[in-house]
Amino acid sequence: MNSVKKRLIPLLLVALLAGCGDRSASYSIDNPTDKPLSLTIDGKAYEVAAHDAESVSLSAGEHTMKGDVVGDIRFISYYRGRGGIINPTLGDYVIYRQSFEKVNTKSPGYQGKLDTIVLDGVPFEGTMKQSDALFIDKDWTYGVDEELPDSVTEHDNGLNNTVHNKVFRAKDFIAFFEKNADAKGYFEANRPKNPSPVVHKLTVLSPTLPPIDDPALEKLAEPLRENYAKYLKAKDASDQEALQKENFTLSMAFSRGAMAINDKTRLSPESSSQIDAFQRAIGEAYGSTALVEP
């Protein structure tokens, strides 16, 4: 039963904490390359210099974009979106999780699980995640052009550490990583001699949620499927807000129903796996600031 609860809780959190804000979101059109970048949003041309960025505020609703890499697309910016980076080159970014320990503490506290990312064929391990999405949702304190400080001053939260995220362009992250004495030259030393070309593709969410084979669970899932399909097409801020609220209510009902089913007949590993996939898909949609239209 505990395993089922653990799988269902994230779905509720996504519905409840999908973001904070209002009917517009602030984005940064970022250019990590050595050449100027041209991008058109809603008919307005943006020229971004090499290794530079330009701010843009987008209202909740449908927008258009045209660029050399992404092509000619339509996308939806969502109500309560957090904003973030618009990545028209589809290049790699790294969101690094930095733990700051309390002075004189003997226990550092939880710093986050280690993950492995790969940049140009070279693996890096640490508390970080990688993204090449067109829209990278903001979950950092320090942006691409802000330095990660050596220390921070905050109110005492009763913990032995506090954690802040910093987002890096790929090249900047490599330079940051190699500041450690034992990591100097790591990237070139481990870079494949004949690396395979990295292909970055525009991510478009599936118009339908993953299947659930269990008939009872599927009956519970049907209202969420309808809600999800509407949300991917919702172009009005008021409609988006209403669907977000509805999603929370439906998610609560799904959780209660699934746990009741599990109490009567323990769910199979296959059903649990399908619930995971179902939740991740909903979480990706409702946790996104903006999405390319299917």
The 8-class DSSP code of residue 182 comes to G
Out of 9-13, 268-272, 290-294, least confident range: 9-13
Which residue, among 116, 112, 179, 110, has the nearest Cα to 148 in the 3D structure?
A: 179
Would the pLDDT of 80 be above 60?
yes
What is the overall mean pLDDT for the chain?
Answer: 88
Burial class (CB in 10 A: 0-12, 13-18, 19+), 12: middle
Secondary structure string (H, E, C) spanning 194-214: CCCCCCCCCCCCCCCCCCCCC
Which 8-state DSSP code applies to residue 266? P
Weakest-pLDDT range from 12-21, 63-72, 144-153: 12-21
Q: What count of Cα atoms within 13 Å lies in the side-chain half-sphere of residue 219?
A: 4
Alpha carbon distance, N-terminus to C-terminus of the chain: 36
For 26-60, the pLDDT digits (tens) are 999 999 999 999 999 999 999 999 999 999 999 99
Residue 199: its pLDDT value, please? 84
3-state helix, strand, coil in the chain (%, to 5): 30, 30, 40
- The answer to whether residue 16 scores a pLDDT higher than 50 is no
How far apart are the C-alpha atoms of 225 and 149, rounded to whole Å?
44
pLDDT at residue 101 in the model: 65
Rounded Cα distance, 248 and 250, in Å: 5
Within a 13 Å sphere around the CA of 291, how many CA atoms are in the beta-carbon half? 24
Confidence of residue 10 (pLDDT cuts 50, 70, 90): very low
Q: State the helix-helix crossing angle for 237-264 and 215-231, rounded to 10 degrees.
A: 170
Mapped onto helix, strand or coil, the DSSP state of residue 90 is coil
Tens-place pLDDT, residues 131-168: 999 999 999 999 999 998 876 665 566 655 678 899 99
Please say whether the beta carbons of 119 and 188 come within 8 A.
no
pLDDT of residue 77: 98
Question: pLDDT of 165-215, one tens digit each?
Answer: 999 999 999 999 999 878 999 999 999 988 788 888 899 999 999 999 999
Residue pair 77/108 in contact (Cβ under 8 Å)? The answer is no
pLDDT tops 70 at residue 257: yes
